[in-house]
Copies of this chain bind each other. A is one copy, B any other.
Amino acid sequence: MNLKELSEKLGLSQTTVSRALNGYPEVKEATRLRVMEAARQFNYSPNKRAMGLATGKSMTIGHVIPTSTQHEMVNPVFGDFVAGSLEVYSQRGYDMLFSAVPDEDEAQTYRNMQRKGSVDGLVLQGPQVNDARIGILRELGMPFVVHGRSSGVSDPYSWIDVNNKRSFQRATEFLLDLGHRRIALINGLESMDFAQRRRDGYLVALHERGIATDPELMRSSEMTEVYGHHETRDMLQLDDPPTAILASSLISAIGVRRAIDEAGLVMGRDVSVITHDDELSYLKNGQDVPIFTATRSSVRDAGRHCAAMLIDQINNPTDDAKFELLEAELVVGRSTGPAPQG
């Protein structure tokens, strides 16, 4: 059933039916009711493509899946972020379109997306330091919001991010207060913006207390369980091993714990661990008492905010770039304790 058929059935013009359905005022209320009823009865719903062609809007938002082709790794955060965004999208009548972007011609892909008219806006995930994509998108004039920020990009753009620097600074201070002096950082890939900010926070905290930094204690890679395990095992074998570890994600923290266990040590007593916790739905940080002391910030919530922000921007294209900085909460769990007397 399409508009034409429906309007014929009603003995009205397509114009009137269309207007009745879309809430325009130039339709008698009685007529509108009649139309709505018929639409329901005949199970009519407009063809999105045709609608898009006519209006120039697609009511679709594009997400570009950050498939770091290097390691073929999907960010574990992905699912929950998407779920959060989707809540908002579906509520506001938007669909969500995915594309995998081959690293090579990313710019081209964006251009195509726009020209093809398949999306009204884009969400950029996993921004790197000095991320070139932001410039491209700005140039194209396509509304977009970045999940995260990109140091080095001076042009304004909309973003939503966790205060990574502050949260890792605080976490480090917390460990320092507990008497730890050998504090390791198991960070994400250094090319990722969030990793840099976390490192900054970590370094600032150490610096303010006059603690020398040790390159041996700063590791960075993709945040898998195996990686957390590997680096921890390695560091625990140092002459002067760390008494505390800052991990970039719960996933890698689990690897950290495994390595601690294997070394015959006890987490929270021999080695303290703090991790960032994105509150993934399938990997909660314990139930009542947190397993890990953690900097906590819901990525699902970030997805919601990001979606809302983007839709706003689509509806008010002339507005200035907006941003939102979410503060992570420091929750104290069982993985931290006073530094062992050495």
Contact = CB atoms under 8 A, between A and B. Distances in A.
A49 B98 contact: no
A75 interface: yes
A273 B116 CA distance: 51
B86 A45 contact: no
Interface residues of A, number: 61
A15 interface: no
B230 A287 contact: yes
Interface stretch (A76-84, A178-186, A199-207): A76-84
Contact of A79 (B49, B50, B78): B78
Interface in A270-286: 280-284, 286
Given A83-B67, A83-B100, A97-B95, A117 B47 contact: yes
Given A53-B50, A99-B95, A72 B281 contact: yes
Number of copies: 2
A282 B117 contact: no
A112 interface: yes
Contacts of A50: 53, 117
A65 B45 contact: no
Given A52-B49, A281-B72, A282-B73, A97 B100 contact: no
A49 B58 contact: yes
A251 B87 contact: no
The 5 A-B pairs with the shortest beta carbon distances in the complex, nearest first, are A74-B79, A96-B98, A48-B116, A78-B79, A86-B100
